[in-house]
Amino acid sequence: MRVLSTLLLAALLQACASAPAPRPAAPVSTTPAPVSAAVPAPAAVPAAPERVAPAPVVAPAAVKAPVAKPAAVAPPAAKPIAPAPTSDPAPAPAPAPAPAPAPAPTPTPTPAPAPVQLAAAPVINTTLGGRIELSASASGGKQIEPGDLADTVIYFVPENGARRPQPGRFRMYTQGKTFDPPLLIVPIGSSVAFPNNDPIRHNVYSATPGAAFDLGFYGEGESREHVFDQPGLVVVNCNVHHVMQAQVLVLPTEHHTRADAKGNYRLADLPAGRGVLHFWHPRAAASSLPVSVPTGTSIDRKLSVSKPRIGR
């Protein structure tokens, strides 16, 4: 740019030097020239200088600008190689030790209150017990046999109504042309099955009023059953073998027991209040008496045997 400006300035100076000299002025007249209103002629405009072709401008040799060397590029940083996973997990950092707990303030001991003497609650005895004795009837001449005392059933029915016992499932087999066992004590609503273990046919039925049923004839390996839903004694027979007989005593209460071999009995956890205590034996007439629970006396009972043993 600076070289171009220098060349242009030199060309202008050369053009001025070559311009023609000005012409001599005309002689001045002494006679005054009339003044006219004409507008004076404009001053002569010097002729445009003759264009001279400028000398060829020789451009200076191009100066080679120093080629900037590219800055050295640092080699890319090597990426860290992740270690190959191992099957063993990295160990967990050890937990920081927990700060030691501040010592608890020592409580100030307070004097223990004096024990309050409570009056002992009265113990209510809701247990009935006693002893059963069997005697042979003078008129019947029946003998007391071993095991007869253990067949005695004692049960208590509260005056305000006994709670219905939980029914169960029982079995009485027919084998050897007998019923085994010959006596069953069941809660009301229980079912009794009669499997036939004899190689002959049996027919199990009952003609007891209010509790009659008939299971029909069935052979060895078969079984029939019946639900006993009426309280009281039900006598069971076989229509094929008339000597076969059994008894099912259906109880309307859960408070019942049987005497031991010596005739002792005990009924526990009875509801307080009045009720009826029943004594039943398969070879004696049933008996009962009103009682009030609790009671502090033993209730003994003597029963007279007047019937043959069951199944004979």
User: Are 258 and 138 in the same domain?
Assistant: yes
Q: Tell me if 190 is assigned to some domain.
A: yes
pLDDT score, position 214: 97
Same domain, 226 and 289: no
CATH label of the domain that carries residue 169: 2.60.40.420
Domain extent for 152: 125-163+253-312
Domain count, the chain: 2
DSSP H or E stretch at residue 305: strand 301-305
Which pLDDT belongs to residue 67?
45
3-state secondary structure of 274: strand
Strand-pair category, 183-187 with 245-251: parallel
The confidence score (pLDDT) of residue 126 equals 85
| 21 to 47, 68, 171: CA distances (angstroms) | 11, 57, 166
CATH of the domain at 274: 2.60.40.1120
What pLDDT tens digit does each residue of the chain (312 aa) get? 565 666 767 666 666 555 555 454 444 444 444 433 333 444 444 444 445 444 444 444 443 444 444 444 444 444 544 444 444 455 555 555 566 556 665 656 565 555 555 454 444 558 999 999 999 876 655 678 888 999 999 999 998 876 789 999 999 999 999 999 999 999 999 999 999 999 999 999 999 999 999 999 999 999 999 999 999 999 999 999 988 999 999 999 999 999 999 999 999 999 999 999 999 999 999 999 999 998 888 999 999 998 887 755
- In one-letter notation, the amino acid at residue 26 is A
Is 61 domain-assigned? no
Q: Could you tell me if 135 and 201 lie in one domain?
A: no
Whether 218 and 182 map to the same domain: the answer is yes
pLDDT at 2: 60
